[in-house]
Structure 1
């Protein structure tokens, strides 16, 4: 990566970020962490805005000709498209990265992500354009997924490489803070509009505003990430091949085993991720008369608890090791899977207990799920292999989770969703057991 004056692929925002970096000299790990948190928050905000709308907007706006349950299931099917297309985005944008640089890649990817999200805000309903409403929604959702494949910036790896050896767990949890922070903001926005608008006004125009906010957040996140990507430290690690993109097919051939294990190791965490965020909202909307804004506030409170639990995971992981923490968290999630159906159907206080306990477990496990096998990757493939591991983990563990959980629960009762969560805990335990290198290489 050369200077902005000699690199034809530099964007104007990249040059501005480089000028700021040049004035401030070296960027400390704390600044890298801030860039990582802002970047992940923007991605997860797009994610949660769409997820919430899938539960409370799209069934009525895009699928009014179906039953509420069928409309929600179809919304969740389209929701999964982003996870299916995300690996495609990684393949495309890794090539862009190698050819034109990370600044160009991030600029294109984040504007595609923000643009796809903003286009959803203008989505006409079924009453206006018929079935084309669902077709456009699917196209925009696929665009979000492709863009997410290009937002992998290597900052989490940069943070890990700059972290002291005795604080790896602490720095590993920082990127994960973006998820609960984004959920707090997204839930709060939807709760505000639901509380202050009539049902007709909310379904007509109120739900669209959070999607506009998502685009603005993406622009801020782009500059925050470019601010780090153009540093001399990033340049040095890029030249040393620590953060250099490698061909996808070649990387899969060399690191296929570790990529698969890395994707399945956090499966319990990723399954729980949707079981306490997306799925319960759909269940409340379909099978209870509770005000949706009330449950969104409960979710926001739970997410605040999740922030604290993620922070705690950093301390615990540095004391007992990330592998041990993930294993014990999987056991806790397995136990929670038995109690979860009873809590979610046990009334208002039980619902609150469901969310609080769920987010505590989620924070402890999700806080250390990022890069759990990164140390197993060679320096030449670490950047691309980590991206592919993340893509596969979200596809397997999260992409179809709301759809499967709701489909099972609607046919066999809430206990079936608990069994689904339990299966994720079992797979995590098996993956950790199989990957014996993890015990020695990544405490």
Structure 2
């Protein structure tokens, strides 16, 4: 095996960390899973902290001169910027990866992510600096998006490559556990400050604390992930090109079809992701008199249900196949899309039913949405191709979902949001049908 001191991607920091873990001859799937879950939880925590603030803080703090609806729509427009800039971050950090190593890339990306998130905690409001408040918020949000493009570490692919063949679905669901875990913590923090502070104190300083917590979580995640990416097992797969970044344009030319299919296959899941997390909170804040901390409590219940459903998805996928599970889930999401407007607008018990049913479907589908066409990529392009697929999937399926759903619902009623979700289920069905390679390789 090539000496790590001569590997182009090796750095002094990585070599030092590798010496610490040199006693491990082979990294176990369980260890990889822990690193993946911690890493994804940190990323999604930043996501949910910002998303919740977009619904209940920024409309009043940054856009007080607009109506509550208009302020929320502008908040969601800025929310989408991270998904637009994320592919830019992927291109930049893939270059950093090739020239300076994965440790350098992850360190810069996670500190940029945590720094951008923590900077929002110091954001002055419109009453202090006027429209510069929105400009700074947009800048910090773009920083989050660029950083997210650099947080792709290949650990999910490493986990898949090390997983037993009859447990690929089980290990594929593990990275997805980060989303409901992050929602559980983020919702709990905001619910705590909402319930213990006056409305004025919450809008003045209480909302800022979750953003500080995000930076601390990112630091912990950095060490957890570096411990894995500097192991000899990861190095071996890098040298064999299983986890080596390939040039972006070359990857697009060779695997553009797989990237597009991979982005649209989980569209229903990604659309549902925001329809049961971000959108309903904005609707409750705008059109009901319910205490926000109460609905955040319901979201916490939904997050627990989502965790359980993701775990179940791993077992089911290994029995029927990931493609089949995504197809059945898309049918379930289509049915849910018809009923969801009635549930969300049907009172307290109906809201609970909306969240529980939504998170069951989300867990089953989202649990297998990661790398659904990874087997279609060659070993030389799997690392970069999977990153680009993820970027495009989040941009198309999730980036504008809260904005579009709220705008449609405000104009045409909640039924319009159901139609929007239904369209995502239809696109997923079409993408899965077209992807004949996936049908052949993964049942």
Which TM bucket (shorter chain)? over 0.9
Structure-2 residue corresponding to 1:265: 265
Corresponding position: 1:10 with 2:11: yes
Structure-2 residue corresponding to 1:441: 441
Deviation at 1:25, TM superposition (A): 4.2
**22-31 or 149-158, which deviates more:** 22-31
CA separation in 2, counterparts of 1:10 and 1:351?
A: 52
CA separation in 2, counterparts of 1:396 and 1:8?
A: 32
Contact 1:263–1:390 under 8 Å retained in 2: yes
CA separation in 1, counterparts of 2:224 and 2:209?
A: 23
Contact 1:372–1:442 under 8 Å retained in 2: no
Corresponding position: 1:134 with 2:104: no
Structure-1 residue corresponding to 2:357: 357
CA separation in 1, counterparts of 2:137 and 2:120?
A: 7
1:314-359 superposed Cα distances (whole Å, 9 cap, x missing partner): 0000000000000000000000000000000000000000000000
Contact 1:11–1:103 under 8 Å retained in 2: no
Structure-1 residue corresponding to 2:68: 68
Deviation at 1:363, TM superposition (A): 0.1
Contiguous gaps of at least 5 residues in structure 1: none
Contiguous gaps of at least 5 residues in structure 2: none
Structure-1 residue corresponding to 2:146: 146
CA separation in 2, counterparts of 1:348 and 1:41?
A: 29
**256-265 or 19-28, which deviates more:** 19-28
Corresponding position: 1:207 with 2:197: no
Taking structure 1 as the reference length, the TM-score comes to 0.98
1:240-289 superposed Cα distances (whole Å, 9 cap, x missing partner): 10000000001000000010000000000000000000000000000000
CA separation in 1, counterparts of 2:103 and 2:21?
A: 14
SS at match of 1:72: helix
Structure-1 residue corresponding to 2:195: 195
Deviation at 1:20, TM superposition (A): 3.0
CA separation in 2, counterparts of 1:341 and 1:298?
A: 17
1:26-67 superposed Cα distances (whole Å, 9 cap, x missing partner): 321100000000000000000000000000000000000000
Change (3 A) 1:28 1:9: closer
Structure-2 residue corresponding to 1:323: 323
1:188-240 superposed Cα distances (whole Å, 9 cap, x missing partner): 00000000000011001000000000000000000100000011111111011
Deviation at 1:18, TM superposition (A): 2.1
Change (3 A) 1:85 1:221: same
Contact 1:21–1:27 under 8 Å retained in 2: no
Corresponding position: 1:248 with 2:248: yes
Written as runs of structure 1 = structure 2, the 5 A alignment for 1:171-320 is: 171-320=171-320
CA separation in 2, counterparts of 1:376 and 1:24?
A: 31
Change (3 A) 1:230 1:417: same
Contact 1:271–1:397 under 8 Å retained in 2: yes
CA separation in 1, counterparts of 2:12 and 2:287?
A: 50
Structure-1 residue corresponding to 2:379: 379
CA separation in 2, counterparts of 1:189 and 1:3?
A: 43
SS at match of 2:173: helix
Contact 1:322–1:368 under 8 Å retained in 2: yes
Deviation at 1:404, TM superposition (A): 0.1
Structure-1 residue corresponding to 2:393: 393
Deviation at 1:10, TM superposition (A): 2.6
Deviation at 1:306, TM superposition (A): 0.2
Contact 1:90–1:149 under 8 Å retained in 2: yes
Number of aligned positions between the proteins: 442
Contact 1:4–1:18 under 8 Å retained in 2: no
CA separation in 1, counterparts of 2:345 and 2:275?
A: 14
Change (3 A) 1:283 1:249: same
Contact 2:9–2:97 under 8 Å retained in 1: no
Deviation at 1:22, TM superposition (A): 1.7
Deviation at 1:19, TM superposition (A): 3.4
User: Pairwise CA RMSD of aligned residues?
Assistant: 1.3
Taking structure 2 as the reference length, the TM-score comes to 0.98
Structure-2 residue corresponding to 1:92: 92
